[in-house]
Structures are given as C-alpha cells and as structure tokens.
C-alpha cells in the first residue's frame, strides 16, 4: 500500500497535464481566415485518406461548397409557367 498515490498527488498531476494542454485546446477553436482555411484544406487533401487532416479537409469542402452548389442546382431547374 505504500506504492499507492495519495488523492492530492493525483489531482496535482492532473492540474499539470491541464496546464500543459490548455493552449492546445484553445487553439482548436480559433477562427481561421478564408485564405488560411483553403490553404489547410488543400494541404489536407494531399494527406493519406485515412488521416485526420484529410477527413477534416473533405468536411470543409462540403461545408464551403454546399451553398454554391445549392444555388447552381436551384437555377438549373426549369420553371413551368
């Protein structure tokens, strides 16, 4: 039982881990400019298909191009009078 950690020691270790990764977590929520986003998308599409950056790039392509595709689809439908 002498090898077990006290609860206060575990809590202190957890605080150290949180302090080390706090900036990493906040960086994920920063807003990218349009140019930065397209640069990351083009770099992500060049990654292996099972990687996280590739999957993120595919999702961003869908998000960024879907409004333009919806408008082009809506204008291509013939209207009946």
Tell me which H or E stretch contains 20: helix 7-27
pLDDT tens for 6-29 read 655 555 555 566 666 556 555 666
Angle between the 34-45 and 52-76 helix axes, to the nearest 10 degrees?
Answer: 110
pTM above threshold 0.85: no
Q: Read off the pLDDT of residues 33-70 as tens digits, 9 standing for 90 and up.
A: 888 888 999 999 999 999 999 999 999 999 888 888 88
The Cα–Cα gap between 65 and 32 comes to 17
Distance CA 24, CA 66 (A): 30
pLDDT at residue 23, as a whole number = 60
pLDDT of residue 19: 64
């Amino acid at each position: 039982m002498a090898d077990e950690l006290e609860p206060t020691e575990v809590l202190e270790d957890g605080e150290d881990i949180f302090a080390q990764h706090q900036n990493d977590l906040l960086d994920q929520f920063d807003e990218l400019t349009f140019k930065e986003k397209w640069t990351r998308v083009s770099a992500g599409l060049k990654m292996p298909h099972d990687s996280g950056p590739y999957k993120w790039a595919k999702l961003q392509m869908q998000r960024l191009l879907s409004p333009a595709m919806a408008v082009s689809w809506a204008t291509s439908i013939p209207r009946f009078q």
